[in-house]
Amino acid sequence: MDFLTFMSVFLLLISTSCYGLSENHHGDEEGGLLVVAPAKQQKEFDYFLLALLWPGTLCQGTNHCCSANACCRSNATSMFTIHGLWVNYNDGTWPACCNNGSNFDIKKITPLLGGLQIYWPSLSCNLESTCDGGKGLFWAHEWEKHGTCATPVIWDEYTYFLTTLNIYFKYNITKILIEEGYIPSNSEKYPLGGIVSAIQNAVRATPLLVCSDGAVQELRLCFCKNFEPQDCPNNVTPEEACPRYVSLPEYVPRKV
């Protein structure tokens, strides 16, 4: 069965209410704002966060090329790619590495690899840390650190990656922005409020944007446990905050 056939699978939904979030709640581990709950205290999560990367910004810092680094591909991609599907608590903490026995097994997601390589690529040559203290693929890091904590909504590795891809396609942020005139450009600056409003109107929830030197680097969408969109908490650090006008740099393949 090919990848497009798998993409026709409906999102796995459960009947769960949506929890509210206050403005000072944090949902991002990358910014150093969250504290990992100790393993013995890890409880069921409160909401999902889909983190998307903008390669045009992130790849500007590439200083080493390898076959695994999508920043070095000759076929330019001007679209958001997946960082990961994370699970967070409403109190600003997040669970991680919830089942050390569920080590990543690439064989379990073989039917999805074609799509993962395009829409969920690694933008680095570095191996990522895994829950057993070793190093592994970008996908291994995301599954072991975040996916294993997504129960009872998501129980296994295959479902984690398939569900993430389905959400990514259902809420096609790149398409939403292009249709509203926000085109990748190395010269244009766009109003941040306009970008946020375009996504709010399409998704019916408020996203969160992270910037680097005035360029959009990451975009986050938040979801209830039944994958209904919900507003994301505004918890970026001052260093990550976006200015009033931002850029969406075009992707330029690196040659280093």
Is domain 3-9+20-246 classified as CATH 3.50.50.60?
no
Catalytic residue among 25, 26, 141, 146: 146
Domain residue ranges in the chain: 3-9+20-246
pLDDT for residue 21: 41
- Given 25, 29, 142, 218, which residue is catalytic? 142
Alpha helices, DSSP H, located in 7-128? 55-58, 113-119
How confident is the model over 158-176, as a mean pLDDT? 99
Alpha helices (H) in the chain, listed in sequence order: 3-6, 55-58, 113-119, 138-145, 157-170, 173-179, 192-203
pLDDT exceeds cutoff 60 at 25: no
Confidence of residue 102 (pLDDT cuts 50, 70, 90): confident
Q: Residues 215-247: pLDDT tens digits?
A: 999 999 999 999 999 999 988 889 999 999 999
Residue 83 is among the residues annotated as catalytic for this protein: yes
192's tokens: 């941040």
142 is catalytic: yes
- How much is the pTM? 0.85
Closest-CA residue to 228 (of 203, 253, 209):
203
